[in-house]
Structure 1
């Protein structure tokens, strides 16, 4: 199993190889074999892909990212496939899928789409620091705020246009402050800042803060510590995480998977709660069919379980990923999309693309 950082150590920012250059070198081989369109990316049979990835998987990824590119609105947002109700959240997720593909605002076939997503989300920065639109993402802005902040923080270092870089820097700075101030007295967050706490919103805020920290922004350590304490308070006897501190009942698998990824993001690889929660999630994935997890939140559960198992090491990833990869391949629609959890195609496609591209290690927040 890969070496992991010890509890309490700051996780390093890793720099992955230039996948864009790699895929460019590979294109000629696939084109000669008649397997690639002129604009697609592929793999020469003489090149070595990350383990468990194949040329067929690369084509599925390209079809998915093409779908996202073709459905982006003129203002840089996504207003279909889940975007009608949650435009900020969908834009943050779709933008993250492009970053996981190796694109930036100035490089790659989706550069203009990344740029558009950045510009849209900057316009969603409000005086309070909340990243949201007029509809407040269906009156539940903190999920979208978290996904948008994680995307903006992840893309910040790639922005070369100085005026836009200043705007993004200010949006991130204010968003971090808003998140810190919106934390409940128990250490968590809920759908509206400062009104309570529950697990799913809490994990989005912690991942967003981790991305901001990676980008060089000041994140108060006490905020992260209190978030960890909140998850500890929500731990159940089974080792998983309940929906919220006051909800009672047993553990929720999707939130437990998200908690593992979040604890790893904060450096708690070997803490008792991370160890117990990983065991609970892993046992649950082993017990029955590995795909249908989390009730109606299957894609959400896999988004975080994939991160958790990837960061936990090869022992977990090598068993989890091939079956999940194959199941996603079978679920992809003719237009390249995935419909996730009944929310829509942008949501499902973004999550599927992120999961399938984890081995390329483009985003530090998803790296081991």
Structure 2
């Protein structure tokens, strides 16, 4: 089994798979029914006696309620065509739809099952319509003229949902869209090994990490991803490494390490199977030290939600020694930032962006999406 296919050891007290988690839910519900259990937990029919057994470590009933409100908010903001064009989606509809759709998948929903099945289905149909003959997934506005960010988030979502689609015609459309999108990403890689805002026009860190994670999702779904593309992307991040252990913005911008890019690089390197390599180890240490040195949600260098989106994945995949210290504080900070309508405003980009990131982070312990697992 290759490193790209490996998963982390089971965490003590956590379900190993979705089936394991659902079996625990069913067992808890049966137990409560037998004893005439009192109370309900977010519609699951689980009383307080079963909460500690059912929920993954550090996930509280308050966390579930916050997630539910956040997902309800996202569902309420979806346009009739399946896109998200508010709360950051005005300029970046493809990126926001990919992110919001991924947040719904992280809840365990699919196009045919779950409370948000209709929203997931709508997101799939919208992004399929955005798939162009070249393979680039983008809308008429080209997501503000920087389509590769949106392309990466859309590809990750479509690849992640592909195996859940039961409607044959739509499944075929997604299959074609993902294959072409993988080819577009592969062909758009720069000579240095990275990507930038438009295909084949250069390279920088933030777009590079979205492409690698999207390719990882595609490979998880059974699509062919050229190994050389991933290897060159890892080499690109190695070239961008600084003496501090972090990652600079791009090869052509040697201005020192950037925390958001470094956090994204950790998750990306793990996605690429680089768990024990020197670059992953050094980058994880750099990000961890920065997170520990600063109290509060914003750890410096701006883009706090972006930093947490990727750092949370890195810390989760790195193991309990990181996750146990990171998540409880991040969880409480997020719960304190949630607006009365269930939304979060992330990095000033908008509520769809912030809410999608917040609920993805809060749902990581449920491990419903392979791309967020080791």
Bucket of the pairwise TM-score, normalised by the shorter protein: over 0.9
From 121, 124, 131, the equivalent of 1:115 is 121
Is it true that 1:67 corresponds to 2:61 in the alignment?
Answer: no
Q: Match for 1:10 among 4, 8, 31?
A: 4
Residue 12 (structure 1) shift = 3.6
May I ask how many residue pairs the two structures share in their alignment?
Answer: 360
Are 1:240 and 1:256, in contact at CA under 8 Å, matched by a contact in 2? Answer: yes
Q: Which residue of 1 aligns with 2:350?
A: 344
Cα distance 1:21–1:163, how it changes in 2: closer, same or farther (>3 A)? farther
Say whether 1:286 aligns with 2:292: yes
- The 2-side partners of 1:60 and 1:102 are apart by 16
Structure 2 runs not aligned, ≥5 long: 9-15
Task: Give the Å deviation of 1:249.
Answer: 1.1
Contact 1:143/1:204 (8 A) holds in 2: yes
SS in 2 for 1:185: coil
1:160-190: per-residue Cα shift (whole Å, max 9, x none)? 0000000000000000000001000000000
Query: Is residue 246–residue 258 contact of structure 2 (8 Å, CA) maintained in 1?
Result: yes
- State how far apart, in whole Å, the 2-side matches of 1:54 and 1:293 are: 24
The answer on 1:45 being equivalent to 2:22 is no
Q: Give the deviation of 1:291 after TM superposition.
A: 1.6
Render the CA deviation track for 1:38-77: whole Å, top value 9, x for unaligned.
Answer: xx45743233210001111101100000000111100000
Moved more, 310-319 or 10-19: 10-19
| 1:1-368 correspondence to structure 2 within 5 Å | 9-12=3-6, 16-18=17-19, 19=21, 40-41=43-44, 43-47=46-50, 48=53, 49-368=55-374
CA distance 1:16–1:111, shift in 2 (3 Å): same
Structure 1 portions without partners, runs of 5+: none
Change (3 A) 1:326 1:313: same
TM-score, normalization by structure 1: 0.93
1:197-242 CA deviation, whole Å, 9 max, x = no partner?
A: 0000000000000000000000000000000000000000000000
Q: Is the 8 A contact 1:87 1:137 kept in 2?
A: yes
- Matched position secondary structure for 1:158: coil
CA shift, 1:290, in A, is: 4.6
Separation of aligned partners in 2, 1:349 and 1:101: 13
Q: CA RMSD in A?
A: 2.1
Supply the distance in 1 between the matched residues of 2:139 and 2:45 (Cα, whole angstroms): 37
Please give the alpha-carbon distance, in whole angstroms, between the structure 2 residues aligned to 1:26 and 1:327.
Answer: 30
How does the TM-score come out when normalised to structure 2? Answer: 0.92
